[in-house]
Chains A and B, each alone.
Chain A
Amino acid sequence: MRAERGFAPPGAPATLSGVSVKELRLDVSATPYGVQIGLTTLRDGLRGIGIDDSELPSVELVLAEIFNNIVEHALAETEDGVIEVGLQCTPNGLWITVEDDGNPMPDGKPPLGLLPAVDVPVCDLPEGGFGWFLIRELAHDLTYTREGDKNLLVFRMAVGRGE
């Protein structure tokens, strides 16, 4: 992981001169264990750019759901896929970009993420379908674009404004 200057996700406010840029970039190996290692690494990195311990779980959960979807869908046929993630702490929250060069989203759009029905008999309870619901619940200003052969997700988490 490396701190980097000059990184600005689309839609994020320009960095004010004189304000220290708090950002991280990390390449995550697109496998279930790669995701686990990436998330653990990001925990420490996020603390370092001003994210409070109480705010870490929601960021980690959203990133986990996005990474898992990329591993299971976008890069399902790829053995050495990489997910590029960038995080920038700004006055209006933590802006996050996630890029991969896998398959595009179905219909070119991220899923709506409706909550599966849980008021059903136990044998019919859903065991999946919660990922995009959780992303939509916790992330703000989410946009998806297909740029050439890359998927680009940009969104904001309402954290990191404590200082």
Chain B
Amino acid sequence: MKLSHRDFADVRVISVTENRIDAACAIQFKDEMRHLTDTGPGRVVLDLGSVDFLDSSGLGAVVSALKAVRNGQRLELASLNPSVERVFHLTRMDSIFRIYDTAETAIEGKSDAR
């Protein structure tokens, strides 16, 4: 599991560089996300554009990352592929996260977009 990140004025964009978040890598994903949100600004966007497979372990890891952000920090999602979007929709987790179509619109988005 590899995560990369780019920092902008007031937002950190974290990109998953592998094509799946599953039971085999969920714990590592959580650990790396924890590190990147701990050291990040008040707004963090997770770009899932490279991910074409997410199972319930992967979903749980993304939820865990949301629960681990510090008080006042936001974690938002961008660029969900249809198969990933479907898992969020079926489990109603799409009602929990602010989800942008692309990382670019997320970067432009105001921090109070919701």
Contact = CB atoms under 8 A, between A and B. Distances in A.
A115 B92 contact: yes
Nearest to A128: B60
A122 B66 contact: yes
A142 B104 CA distance: 43
A65 B58 CA distance: 11
A125 B96 contact: yes
Given A125-B67, A130-B56, A118 B86 contact: no
Interface string A34-56: 01100100000000000000000
B83 A57 contact: yes
Given A65-B55, A137-B90, A127 B24 contact: no
A126 B93 CA distance: 10
Contacts of B20: 36
A158 interface: no
Given A118-B96, A128-B56, A134 B87 contact: yes
Contacts, number: 74
B64 A118 contact: no
B72 interface: no
How many A residues touch the partner, as a band?
Answer: 20 to 34
Nearest to A123: B67
A86 to B, nearest CB: 21
A36 B26 CA distance: 12
Nearest to B95: A118
A122 B69 CA distance: 10
B55 A115 contact: no
Interface of B: 20, 22-24, 52-53, 55-57, 59-61, 63-64, 66-67, 82-83, 86-87, 90-93, 95-96
Given A35-B23, A65-B55, A119-B95, 8 more contacts: A61-B83, A122-B67, A125-B96, A126-B63, A127-B61, A127-B63, A130-B56, A137-B90
10 contacts: A32-B24, A35-B23, A58-B86, A61-B83, A64-B23, A64-B53, A115-B92, A119-B95, A122-B96, A127-B63
